Amino acid sequence: MIRRPLPEPLNFSATQPQLARPSRVCSSNKALVKSVAPEEEERETMKSKLITLSAACVALFATVSIGQAQDPSAKNNDRPHSWHKRGNPVEHLTKALNLTPEQQAKIQPIFDQAKPQIKAARQEAKQKLVAIRENIQSQIRPILTTDQQQKFDAMKQARADMLKARKEMRDAEKN
């Protein structure tokens, strides 16, 4: 906190010449200093918070910028289960575990055999989620007013449109 010294009271004594003396806070001015100090302290606290917030924003911006500048194929390498979205899982294991060609030849059929099972399990889970979501929506809709129902239906349609657009984008990327 920065404290600015208050001027000393004027001395009207004719016998003492007025000399420039260093300013200081005397006991009669302490009450005045106390009333000014909270405002100054609050101002300093606000400055400190603003500087901290600004630094955090700069750090966040720098992090995002660096993240976007990275090679897209290098994204999410730290996630343990993300390899299944990046092509051949045997290649991933080969890089991560330094597999020998013999090991690769033994592991590849295991993944090939499991692939249809995984696909079926995902499809089943997706169907269950759709059924649960529809059940939730059918219970919520009667509770809403007419205006709310219209907004709710618009939200539902927007979600469906977004999912359709994502599917089209994925299909286009595959081709």
pLDDT digits (tens, 9 = 90+) for 73-130: 544 444 445 444 567 899 999 999 999 999 999 999 999 999 999 999 999 999 999 9
Which residues, including other chains, have CB under 8 Å from residue 3's CB and lie 6 or more apart? 25, 33, 37, 40
pTM of the model: 0.42
Q: What is the mean pLDDT of residues 50-67?
A: 70
Sign of CA dihedral 152, 155, 157, 160: negative
List Cβ neighbours of 8 (8 Å cut-off, separation of 6 or more).
21, 23, 24, 26
145: phi then psi, degrees, rounded to nearest 5: -75, 170
Top pLDDT among 25 and 146 is at 146
pLDDT top residue among 44 and 98: 98
Question: Is 149 a residue whose pLDDT tops 90?
Answer: yes
Integer angstrom CA distances of residue 146 from 95, 141, 151, 152, 154: 58, 9, 9, 10, 12
